[in-house]
Amino acid sequence: MLFQKIEKPFYRKKESIQLNGRLIQLNKPVVMGILNLTPDSFYEGSRYQQEKEILVRAEEILLEGGLIIDIGAVSTRPGATFVSEGAELERLLPAVKVIRQHFPEANLSIDSFRSGVVAKVYDEIGGFLVNDISGGNMDGQMFETVAKLGLPYILMHIQGTPDIMQKNPTYQDVVKDILLALSEKINTLKLLGVNDIIVDPGFGFGKNLRHNYDLLNSLDSFRLFELPLLVGVSRKAMIWKLLDSSPGESLNGTTVLNTLSLMGGADILRVHDVREAVETVKLVSEIKKKMMA
């Protein structure tokens, strides 16, 4: 047998989140497609800046089976320096407004660590998921803002900030340390009344190659939170550095790691290549059905 039979879980994971009065079901894995508005994203093939190409990309994500469009206007690649909040909004607001206008039913996620950006986007388009790569570390008002606006929140782990996060990241035990850090923030969010929390271990954000693969090998540890789990490994350095290739040559490696992530319990795959990820979800789901029988 290729894989061992999966025992039925003893825990009860949260299987839906509220967004704009609708339930997003996560009882089966879903795909989040990346739409970068930055000119300096680490993967050149994911950069979109003109209105027409933004709309083409948004439509592509939806047609290929992506359930969520994740829109970011600030590069958070290792070593990145940040643009101002004003510059972020200048890129972001026209894009989210035109996407909402053309695809009013689409589920949008805003990739920002700034509470001011979250509040201004909310004023323009209403509800969305907040995808905060800093886990609240880089803006002390983020948790309160998310709670006040009633928005779903993707809580990601990061050590340091993008400009320095890959300079000798250190852990006592990478899995235990991250579980503890996330646990404390989950408690804070729940006390504030944030009910829809998605956990992201933060692959590549303040982790070296060994840390990333230790995390991947221990994804089932994150089940203890009983919350949806997001994994974002798409075309990252943990793939192309190990294979001595490049982000542009990392689709095959991404598919392999997405497969392992789904086997480990991932509920959301954040990807550049939506069709391939959707196909991976379908194939792994079929395998897991047989394993659960």
Residue 243, CA distances (Å) to 60, 113, 237, 247, 273 in order: 29, 31, 9, 10, 19
CA-closest candidate to residue 129, choices 33, 244, 251, 252: 33
Q: Which residues pair with 232 in a beta bridge?
A: none
Is 236 designated active site? yes
Query: DSSP readout, 90-140?
Result: HHHHHHHHHHHHH-TT-EEEEE-S-HHHHHHHHHHH---EEEETTTTTT-T
Catalytic residue, chosen from 5, 235, 270, 289, is 270
Catalytic residue, chosen from 97, 120, 236, 241, is 236
What is the Cα gyration radius of the chain? Answer: 18
In this structure, the strands spanning 22-25 and 16-19 are antiparallel
Question: Which of the residues are catalytic?
Answer: 236, 270
